[in-house]
Amino acid sequence: MKRYAALYWYFLLQRFKILMEYRVNFLIGASSTVILQIAGLLTIWVIMSQVPNLNGWNLNEILLVYGLLTLSKSITHMFADNLWTIGQDYIRSGDFDRFLVRPIDPLFHLLADRFCHDGIGNFLIGAGLVAVSTAALGIAWTPLNLLYVVIAVASGGAIFIALNLITATSAFWIVQSIPVTQIIFNTHEFAKYPLTIYPRAIGLLMTWLIPYGFASFYPASYILGRDVGALAWMGPIVAVVLLVVGYRVWLFGLRHYASTGS
């Protein structure tokens, strides 16, 4: 573990050296996601200006849900964005072969190969939304609350990464896996709002099948003092289970990898 931590730090330093060579591009990339998030927030503002109470949730409570989801999504954006393009950037070109001839885990190498700075904007927006919404709601930041949010965001990020890993592994068979990943990933849009506003089927989907609800709704409910039972604490368990499943799916796909020979 210590060796891989040191290797990741080395990869990260090299990545930032490259990014600093093109500082304008770095700033544009980091700020582009901020602009996209502002568009999404404007949508929420328009909706809530017409419907101030959305099935018992006010604007600041929904912003907390949105902020937690954005923080979780920023983790996969920054540290696992390469999963999206494994087919078109690595497998199709044959560049994936270099991961197989080096004395480190291929998945680790794939993830460490590129830190996506665009996710920094998502992280800042998410952190800002959580800070502003909790302040407006008068929520006290106790050490327990702070620890809970850190664990919830880390778990949510792991859930995003695991689901992307499971779907991106399809690249070993179909090469272009982005449409498959997109189908599952886009369902996180439901988790930007409280799951209680949807039909029960959507709530079950976001809890047990594509569990993005553990990245937003359930931790937000706990912070707000809303009773969701044991589900408020199940995020880490769901994340670990999905990561194990995702890694096993990855290993299965890796055994079926056939180089392009290019």
Judged against a pLDDT cut of 90, whether residue 25 lies above it is answered with no
Judged against a pLDDT cut of 70, whether residue 159 lies above it is answered with yes
- CB contact at 8 A, 133 and 223: no
User: How much is the pTM?
Assistant: 0.93
Residue positions counted in the chain:
262
Averaged pLDDT of the chain = 92
Tell me, what's the pLDDT at 17? 78
- CB contact at 8 A, 117 and 26: yes
* Alpha carbon distance 108, 159 (integer Å): 17
Name the 3-class secondary structure at 57: strand
Measuring CA to CA, which residue among 72, 193, 60, 191 is closest to residue 122?
72
**Which tens digit of pLDDT belongs to each residue from 186-215?**
999 999 999 999 999 999 999 999 999 999
